[in-house]
Amino acid sequence: MRRSTTFRIRTLHRRFGWAVALAVGLVAIVVPPTMLGVYDQRQIALIAVYTLIVSGLNLSFGYAGELALGQVAMFAAGAYVSAILANHGSKDLLLGLVAATLAAGVIGLVSGVPGMRLSHWSLALTSFFLVLLVPKVVSLFADQTGGLLGISSTTGPTLFGRPLGFTGLLTVVLVVTVGWLAIARNLVLSRFGDELRVLRESPLLASSLGLSTFRVRTSAYLLGSLPAGAAGCLVAYLNGFISPDSFTLELAIVLLAASVVGGSASIYGAPIGSALLVLGPLQTSAFTQFSVLIYGLFLLVIGVVFSGGISGLITLVARRLDGRLPVVADAVDDSAFAEHAIPGELLGVRGLTKSFGGVRALDGVTLEASPGRITALLGANGAGKTTLLNAVSGFVRTDEGDIVLGERRIDGEPPHAIARAGVRRTFQTPLIPHSMTALETVMSGRLGQRGGRGLSAVLRLPSFRRSRRADLDAARGALAFAGMADVADVDAQSLPLGTRRLLEVVRAVAGEPRLILLDEPAAGLDDDGRAELARLIRRARDAGGTVILVEHNVDFVLGLADHVHVMALGSVIASGPPQVIREHPEVINSYLGRRGRPESRTEARAEVADR
């Protein structure tokens, strides 16, 4: 009974979380306009507006890991666009919302694309600059914006030609907010959300799975700027008056504090953080002179002590209540291996050369790896094995030579394009994102595929369901292929090292790989772990995969590989089946070790190393 997963809070959350959220959302839309007093209604409206902005900030900061401080500028843009439209006689709320969102998107584009060129603080500061520009731009166009004095007359919005009262407006505010949260939730729980999680964990992993990190980051930031624009439009009508005083740097800090307090990497962190700040520090106008100090302390303390915020705390409590996850001692279930086809293709490497500074890491390497075979690269440290692996997967740009996979030449292409061409790899230290189950981790192997994002994900269209189903089936299939169906729902990072290594291979298998690169998969494993790994690698070969194995462990390699290339000083010094390699004199000399060195190669080698 203790092992049953049915009653775990996290399982319940995964299955029925949407229903609870939907119910809460409906209550949030229905109750305030009908049952609360005017003061409370205003507070709720303010919370909703902040929620919109903070939720956008979270998409960029919490999920994509890029700190942006410029949401206030998009907020202002949305507000001014709506106010100017209203002053020109167009008070239709729908039109205002669309125009405001578009304006925010344009500003996101202008600040995001250059800001992303240098990472981290660069975007933060570029977008912070935007906020500083708000009063300047407003006073430059004073005839339209009312300058520093502000602009009024954004009252009496209409919807479909009918005037909205305050309660009507409040209902729209709540519908927009709840609707956006639903959109954000659907996006986060789609391939796009998985892309963000993978990217935040490691840009290296993201590009090895076929993602352009620049595209993913920029689209998260852009998308996050849209709700701020909508919020601007709503606030313009709610207040009936706007001026640059509403869009200050201090507000930018308040929003960041709300994000951090509520939990940046969470959909529900936005309403929680906004509500706390609106009902808490923003309320106590008596202490207004302390407010800045308090926000600063929030950022500092929560940043240092607990980076998950309140929603992170809730997750943690739920996890505690669930008890510790069962340790999966024997992850592989011998009785349950399923079949899974792998579309391996021929890899041809010809005359590959790469120099780092004065050292030739690759010196004219030529080799082939064919489908249905395990091709191993053996060699001492610095022999060039890892450089070759990095060259094939695109992380290292080669100087000369070509790399052809199937019919397609892949050298010179960026890593994410090569990954999309079907090259999958594992890492020496398993790269597995936080807070993903084993199943989700394996599904992330299919992120390079088309579909399952954007509008189809937001509306949960049939095409989204199809691609989701395909991902799930492929991931379950790949897990079953490895006999690991049992661990599907286990938090992947809590798995032991050996199982995480297997999981990386399974993730590669799930992505319909044309070539699988394994970078020292046996490092740090004991005999049992190596045996399980060897079995999985053999199964991947037998299923049609093209497998390249880089490994130090001689016994492991010679027992597993169909064909071995031995490298030394950047070139292949011997090739053949394992039994030939074991007896090869030069291999014994340069790698396995015996007394004496062959004189024939000495001079040529000396020349190479001295270059």
Partner 1 sequence: MTTLWAGLGAGAVYALVALTFNIPLAASGVFNFAQPQFTMLGGFLAFEGLRQGWPLLLVLGACVVVGGLLGVLEERVAIRPFVRNTTSRAALVTTVGFAVVLEGVAHVIWGTTPQAVPFPGTDSTLDVAGGRLGVLDLTVLILAVVACLSAEIATRTTGWGLANRATTIDPTAAELRGIDVTAVRRRAFALAGALACAVGPLVAAQVTASVTLGNNLLILAFVALCLGGFGSHVGCLVGGVAVGLVQALGARYLNGDWALVLLFAVLVALLLARPSGLFGARRQRTV
Partner 2 sequence: MTTDVMLEVEALRLAYGDLTAVWEVGLTVPRGTTVALVGRNGAGKTTTLSGIAGLLRAHSGTVRLEGTDVTQLPAHERARLGLSFVQEGKRVFRDLSVRQNLQLGFFGRRTPRRQAGRLMDEMCTRFPPLAEKLAQPAGSLSGGQQQMLAIAQALVNRPSVLLLDEPSSGLAPVIVDEVLALVAGLKADGLSILIVSESGEELLDGVADQVVVLDQGRSTLTRSAADITADDITRAMGMGASTRP
Please state the closest distance from residue 584 (CB atom) to partner 1, in A. 30
Identify which of residues 60 and 590 has a Cβ nearer to partner 1 in the complex. Answer: 60
For residue 33, what are its two tokens? 């306009």
Strand 400-405 to 347-356 pairing: antiparallel
Angle between helices 38-58 and 213-239 (to 10 degrees): 160
Identify which of residues 296 and 559 has a Cβ nearer to partner 1 in the complex. Answer: 296
Residues in region 369-408 near partner 1 by CB under 8 A: 390, 395-396
C-alpha distances (whole Å) from 98 to each of 76, 101, 194, 414, 571 are: 15, 5, 28, 37, 60
Asked whether the CA dihedral 357, 360, 361, 365 is positive or negative, the reply is: positive
Q: Of these partners, partner 2, partner 1, none, which one is at the site of residue 382 (CB under 5 to 8 Å by kind)?
A: partner 2
* Sheet architecture: strand order including 515-519: 423-425, 515-519, 546-550, 373-379, 563-568, 571-576
Identify which of residues 434 and 469 has a Cβ nearer to partner 1 in the complex. Answer: 434
Query: Is 49 within 8 Å of 277 (Cβ atoms)?
Result: no
Q: Does 606 bind partner 2 (CB under 8 A)?
A: yes
Residue 474 three-state SS: helix
Count, residues near partner 1 per rule CB under 8 A: 52
Q: Exposure of 606 by Cβ count < 10 A (0-12 exposed, 13-18 middle, 19+ buried)?
A: exposed
Residue 52 three-state SS: helix
Q: Does 602 bind partner 2 (CB under 8 A)?
A: yes
State the Cα–Cα distance between residues 524 and 446, nearest whole angstrom: 27
CB atoms within 10 A of CB 114: 12
Count, residues near partner 2 per rule CB under 8 A: 32
Q: Of these partners, partner 1, partner 2, none, which one is at the site of residue 86 (CB under 5 to 8 Å by kind)?
A: none
Q: Does 136 bind partner 1 (CB under 8 A)?
A: yes
Q: Does 569 bind partner 2 (CB under 8 A)?
A: yes
The rounded Cα 348 to chain-centroid distance in angstroms is 32
Provide Rg for the chain, Cα atoms: 29
Q: Does 434 bind partner 1 (CB under 8 A)?
A: no
Identify which of residues 244 and 477 has a Cβ nearer to partner 1 in the complex. Answer: 244
Sole binder of partner 1 in the list 31, 40, 114, 528 (CB under 8 A): 114
Q: Does 408 bind partner 2 (CB under 8 A)?
A: no
Furthest CA-CA distance within the chain: 95
Residues in region 352-381 near partner 2 by CB under 8 A: 357-359, 380-381
Residues in region 282-341 near partner 1 by CB under 8 A: 289-301, 303-304, 307
Binding mask 502-541 vs partner 2 (x if CB under 8 A, - otherwise)? ------------------x--xx-----------------
Q: How many CA atoms lie within 13 A of 505 on its CB side?
A: 30
Residues in region 178-217 near partner 1 by CB under 8 A: 202, 204
Binding mask 416-455 vs partner 2 (x if CB under 8 A, - otherwise)? -------------x--------------------------
State the Cα–Cα distance between residues 441 and 425, nearest whole angstrom: 14
CB atoms within 10 A of CB 214: 15
Residue 366 three-state SS: strand
Please state the closest distance from residue 390 (CB atom) to partner 1, in A. 5
State the Cα–Cα distance between residues 6 and 402, nearest whole angstrom: 53
Please state the closest distance from residue 166 (CB atom) to partner 1, in A. 33
Identify which of residues 155 and 493 has a Cβ nearer to partner 2 in the complex. Answer: 493
Question: What are the backbone angles phi and psi of residue 488, rounded to the nearest 5°?
Answer: -50, -40
For residue 282, what are its two tokens? 């923003």
State the Cα–Cα distance between residues 111 and 65, nearest whole angstrom: 16
Q: Does 325 bind partner 2 (CB under 8 A)?
A: no
Q: Which stretch binds partner 1 (CB under 8 A): 63-71, 347-355, 425-433, 565-573?
A: 63-71
Q: Which residue has the tokens 């981790």?
A: 441
Binding mask 478-517 vs partner 1 (x if CB under 8 A, - otherwise)? ----------------------------------------
Q: Of these partners, partner 2, partner 1, none, which one is at the site of residue 297 (CB under 5 to 8 Å by kind)?
A: partner 1
Identify which of residues 119 and 602 has a Cβ nearer to partner 2 in the complex. Answer: 602
Q: In sequence order, what are the residues at sequence separation of 6 or more whose Cβ sits closer than 8 angstroms to the Cβ of residue 210? A: 416, 417, 419, 420, 447, 448, 449, 511
State the Cα–Cα distance between residues 23 and 375, nearest whole angstrom: 55
Identify which of residues 65 and 430 has a Cβ nearer to partner 1 in the complex. Answer: 65
Interacting residue ranges for partner 2, rule: CB under 8 A: 357-359, 380-382, 429, 496-497, 520, 523-524, 552-555, 569, 592-595, 597, 601-603, 605-611
Q: Which residues contact partner 1 by CB under 8 A?
A: 61, 65, 67, 69, 110-111, 113-115, 117-118, 120-122, 124-126, 128-130, 132-133, 136-137, 139-140, 202, 204, 249, 253, 256, 260, 289-301, 303-304, 307, 356, 390, 395-396
